[in-house]
Amino acid sequence: MDDMDFPTPDVQIESVDPDDLKERIDAGEDVTLLDTRMKSDYDEWRIDGENVESINVPYFEFLDEEIDDDVLAQIPDDREITVLCAKGGSSEYVAGALKERGYEVDHLEEGMNGWARIYEAVEVERYDGAGTLVQYQRPSSGCLGYFVYDDDEAAVIDPLRAFTDRYLDDAEELGVDLTYAIDTHVHADHISGVRALDAVGAEGVIPEASVDRGVTYADEMTLAADGDEFQVGDVTIETVSTPGHTSGMTSYLIDGELLATGDGLFVESVARPDLEEGDDGAPEAAAQLYESLQERVLTLPDDTLIGGAHFSDAAEPADDGTYTAPIGQIEEEMAALTMDEDEFVELILSDMPPRPANYEEIIPTNLGQQTADDDEAFELELGPNNCAASQDSLAGD
């Protein structure tokens, strides 16, 4: 909708920086949002929070000079409203129309596209290995990544192409060289940054098992097999094969302290098994996931931290603000992890959420079978990740 040409409002409209809006939400301020995107877009992906009131009224309801009273009745007039849309065009127009009618309003810069550019780094305080471990968080999609550094070296796990410069800038600021860029698997929800970082000097690492899916650039990458180790200063990153979400799904144990599980296990859910072979192959993949969790993950010490590649609205951050939790705690809270295999498979397959937006284009792009420029790549990954099984059926009582 923001490709349309909207008239410039006759009144001055203040804009809100996405980072500032995120800070207000995180600080617990009450925030009221008027989202003017189409209902289908709003239902799929929006800004939420315990202290966020979100109202959806599509922009076209405000195009007439006389706005319907029923439309205006949906919008509170006793507080500040932040209007948002997809890219920032219609929201400024709608905010102007409301301000002319006495509402206290501003609008979100670049809309949901601006929100998608927020990328925060939070230190994992419970990590007790060598060096320092940071979790990257992208609130718009729930994507998580990991940056570990020690001495003059660093590695990033599950980097996003849209934030290639961010990893390089962070490394430069810390005075370290970005030695490795590592993927846990062929992602279905975002464009990987491994090849982009490999092109500027980091050593790109992909799971050896993912090559059978048709990766076209395997000869240019280091292939990680089960048990392989990568050294970053005094930090040891051990490769742990954990197939299930995909046949090549691979976790990385960072100095024996945190298992970066990719999409295999999250703090609030487990992987969905249908993104590689579809519905027909999902039962076999779910059984494979069960075996990986039981034999490769839950056998680690209970205090080993789990850090997935995503978090959902159902996830609760730890005290340090990261989406990490000890294996023992996750096993206690997630009933699916204590089931036998048949129960587990039946549960996982019983309530599958919608597949990630544009996954049929994102997967071949990550395989190198098709290309996308930076703008196209960014557009492809907008929206929720949906790489987990439904949280509603997985939690314990």
CA distances from 318 to 72, 126, 173, 321 (A): 40, 10, 26, 5
The tokens for 289 are 């996931």
Asked whether the beta carbons of 132 and 109 are under 8 A apart, the reply is no
b or e along 3-17 (b: 16 or more beta carbons within 10 Å of the residue's beta carbon)? eeebeebeeebebbe
- In the residue annotation, 85 being an active-site residue is answered as yes
Classified as helix, coil or strand, 127 is coil
Q: What is the DSSP letter of 130?
A: S
Taken in order 65, 66, 70, 76, is the CA torsion positive or negative?
positive
Q: Which superfamily is assigned to 15-115 in CATH?
A: Rhodanese-like domain (3.40.250.10)
CA distances from 101 to 17, 260, 334 (A): 24, 51, 50
Q: Helices (DSSP H) in the chain: which residue ranges?
A: 18-26, 39-44, 69-72, 89-99, 111-115, 164-174, 194-198, 278-292, 327-333, 341-350, 359-367, 374-380
Residue 165's contacts (CB-CB under 8 Å, 6 or more residues apart) are none
Please state, in angstroms and rounded to a whole number, the distance separating the CA atoms of residues 200 and 178.
Answer: 10
Please state, in angstroms and rounded to a whole number, the distance separating the CA atoms of residues 174 and 167.
Answer: 11
Q: How far is CA 138 from the centre of its chain?
A: 5
The CATH 3.40.250.10 domain(s) of the chain lie at 15-115
The CATH 3.60.15.10 domain(s) of the chain lie at 120-393
Catalytic residue among 1, 67, 85, 211: 85
- What strands lie across the sheet with 235-241, from one edge to the other? 229-232, 235-241, 250-254, 258-262, 305-308, 325-326
**Containing H/E element for 56?**
strand 52-56
Asked whether the beta carbons of 263 and 242 are under 8 A apart, the reply is no
Q: Which superfamily is assigned to 120-393 in CATH?
A: Ribonuclease Z/Hydroxyacylglutathione hydrolase-like (3.60.15.10)
Write out the chain's pLDDT in tens, 397 residues.
445 667 666 788 999 999 999 999 999 999 999 999 999 999 989 999 899 999 999 999 998 889 999 999 999 999 999 999 999 889 999 999 999 999 999 999 999 999 999 999 999 999 999 999 999 999 999 999 999 999 999 999 999 999 999 999 999 999 999 999 999 999 999 999 999 999 999 999 999 999 999 999 999 999 999 999 999 999 999 999 999 999 999 999 999 999 999 999 999 999 999 998 999 999 999 999 999 999 999 999 999 999 999 998 889 999 999 999 999 999 999 999 999 999 999 999 997 888 888 999 999 999 999 999 999 999 999 988 888 886 554 554 3
